[in-house]
Each structure stands twice: as C-alpha cells, then as structure tokens.
C-alpha cells in the first residue's frame, strides 16, 4: 500500500510539473543597438532627428512579448536636418525648453507596455501608458516583433499628440493667426529596438 501511495505521489508531481506555467523572462534593452527617430511637421516643412533610450526591460513569455517598460533620455535629443550649427543648436535649445519638453525639469520620458495582441505573423498591437513632462496618457501602436534565442527585436512608429502632454506651442488647436509658424500637434517616434536577456 505504501508503495502504491508513493507511486501516486510521483505521478501527481510529474503532472503538476508539466502544467506549471512558464515564467516571464526579462530582456534588457541594448541602448547601443537601439534607435529612436523623431519627426515633427509644420506648415513650412519639417524637422527630424534622434533621441536615445536610457534603459528598459521587456517581459517575454513563451517567446512572446507580454509587457515592459522603456525609458528615454530627453537630454539626448538631436536634430539631423539643420546643417547650420547655430540654427541647429537654437532648435535643440527650444525643444529642451519649457515651450516643448522642459528637459531640465523632466529629464526622462517613459513608456509602459500593458497589453500585447497578435495581429498575425510578427505583427502585434501594443497598448500602454506614455509619460511626457510628468503627464501620463494611453497610447496604441503596431509593432513588428521577433524573439530568437536570447534576442528580441522590434520596430514600429508611435504617433504622439503633444498637446495631450501640455505642449501647445505653435499649435493651431489652441492659437489662431499662426500662419506658416503653425506646428502639427502630432509628431512621430520611429523605433528600432534590440533587447537581450
């Protein structure tokens, strides 16, 4: 009888072991291999440049992204279209000022990924919370994501309505008679991200 009980215990233990859900693994963002390209448009044209990740971790379960958090270093913002050094620095200084991102007071922005839904293949729809200038708002965007071995790679574009974060400078939604000085409310962040465990 004792032998039968022991055998039953072993079988139950094996069954429990086979149905135990896999734990999510954390992948750390490789800052050197990851990029963010920003584009802002206005009546008279557009500007574009880069900004860098400060840190980040992504949760992966069964080779699928399930969530995570990404932090952007706002002080790293650069412009790549103005070739005149003086005008380039004027633009960057303005973007860092309180008219736009208030970098001295708000040195980082953060994206928390709350939900990941498959759209087929490597395409996913992500829902999360984006914090800029201390204001948090929900965002949604599509991303191509692949997980191979110890590496996760993701690309996509996030449209951001700056006015939701209190950035109203040059916005036609709040000011009239701006003429060719009007700046679009929405700017885009095109990312290419690499994370490793």
Per-residue pLDDT reduced to its tens digit, 91-119 = 999 999 999 999 999 999 999 999 999 99
Question: What is the predicted pLDDT for the residue at 103?
Answer: 97
pLDDT < 50 positions in the chain = 2-3
Question: What is the predicted pLDDT for the residue at 11?
Answer: 53
* Separation CA 140–CA 157 (nearest Å): 10
Question: What is the predicted pLDDT for the residue at 149?
Answer: 86
Question: What is the predicted pLDDT for the residue at 77?
Answer: 98
At the fourth CATH level, the homologous superfamily of domain 23-196 is: Lipid/polyisoprenoid-binding, YceI-like (2.40.128.110)
What does the pLDDT look like over 154-165, one tens digit per residue? Answer: 999 999 999 999
Q: What is the DSSP string of the chain?
A: -HHHHHHHHHHHHHHHHHHSPPPPEEEEE-GGG-EEEEEEEETTEEEEEEEEEEEEEEEEETTEEEEEEEEEEEEEEEESS--SHHHHHHHHHHHHSTTTT-TTT--EEEEEEEEEEE-STTEEEEEEEEEETTEEEEEEEEEEEEEETTEEEEEEEEEEEGGGGT--TTBTTT-S--GGG-B-SEEEEEEEEEEE-
Q: Residue 23 phi/psi, 5° resolution?
A: -85, 145
Sign of CA dihedral 26, 31, 34, 37: positive
């Amino acid at each position: 009888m004792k032998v039968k009980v022991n055998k039953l215990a072993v079988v139950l233990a094996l069954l429990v072991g086979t149905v135990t859900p896999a734990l999510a693994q954390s992948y750390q963002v490789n800052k050197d291999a990851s990029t963010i390209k920003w584009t802002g448009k206005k009546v008279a044209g557009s500007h574009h440049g880069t900004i860098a990740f400060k840190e980040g971790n992504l949760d992966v379960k069964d080779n699928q992204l399930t969530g995570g958090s990404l932090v952007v270093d706002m002080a790293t913002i650069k412009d790549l279209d103005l070739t005149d050094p003086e005008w380039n620095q004027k633009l960057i200084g303005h973007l860092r000022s309180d008219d736009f991102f208030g970098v001295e007071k708000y040195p980082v922005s953060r994206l928390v990924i709350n939900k990941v839904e498959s759209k087929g293949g490597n395409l996913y729809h992500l829902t999360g919370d984006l914090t800029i200038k201390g204001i948090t708002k929900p965002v949604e965007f599509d991303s191509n994501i692949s997980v191979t071995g110890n590496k996760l790679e993701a690309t996509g574009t996030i449209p951001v309505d700056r006015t939701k974060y209190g950035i109203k400078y040059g916005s036609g939604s709040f000011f009239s008679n701006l003429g060719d000085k009007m700046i679009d409310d929405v700017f885009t962040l095109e990312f290419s991200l690499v994370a490793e465990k």
